[in-house]
């Protein structure tokens, strides 16, 4: 099984159960030295698309993630949901700090430029997913307070 780190809507276990039904939640953790951002301008119907980028020059940057053991049959489906066949996202290997120690996983990063704003609805859905996965209150509130487009 591959280990997948979800940082946006897939933090919601119900959503992951629909997208990758044979892939259980294993742990939660942090991408240290990374930040959550948006890119692709207005590619999506919900404004800019969510992604993560390395941010070693920004002390304290971290992104909350949920780690899933992805079954082989669910990998292709998850790639499809994430837009890999369309060239929107690509897989990268990352290191996740967990209470069980560091783990290596894959995640998806936007294959486009950084910039643009998400809609309020999209940003709210990411914050809701983070909250449902047990992200700390201050992390969820930072998400809810980010700049966004109306709608």
d(CA 78, CA 132): 20
DSSP string covering 26-88: EEEEEEETEEEEEEEEEEETTEEEEEEEE-TTSTT-EEEEEEEEE-HHHHHHHHHHTTTTTTS
Q: Is 97 considered catalytic here?
A: no
**Running DSSP on this structure, what letter comes out for residue 1?**
-
Take residue 67 and report the two structure tokens written for it.
């780690």
Catalytic residue among 82, 100, 114, 131: 82
Q: Which residue has the tokens 């070693």?
A: 56
d(CA 96, CA 3): 10
d(CA 141, CA 151): 19
Could you give the residue numbers annotated as active site?
Answer: 82
């Amino acid at each position: 099984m591959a280990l997948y780190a979800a940082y946006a809507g897939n933090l919601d276990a119900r959503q992951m159960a629909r997208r990758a039904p044979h892939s259980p939640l294993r742990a939660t953790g942090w991408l240290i030295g990374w930040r959550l951002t948006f890119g692709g301008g207005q590619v999506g119907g919900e404004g800019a698309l969510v992604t993560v980028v390395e941010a070693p020059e920004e002390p304290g940057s971290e992104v909350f993630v949920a780690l899933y053991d992805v079954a082989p049959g669910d990998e292709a489906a998850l790639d499809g949901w994430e837009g890999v066949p369309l060239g929107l996202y690509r897989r990268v290997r990352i290191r996740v700090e967990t209470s069980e120690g560091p783990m290596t996983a894959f995640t998806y990063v936007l294959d486009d430029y950084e910039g643009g704003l998400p809609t309020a609805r999209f940003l709210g859905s990411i914050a809701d997913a983070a909250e449902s996965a047990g992200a700390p209150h201050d992390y969820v509130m930072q998400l809810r307070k980010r700049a966004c487009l109306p709608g």
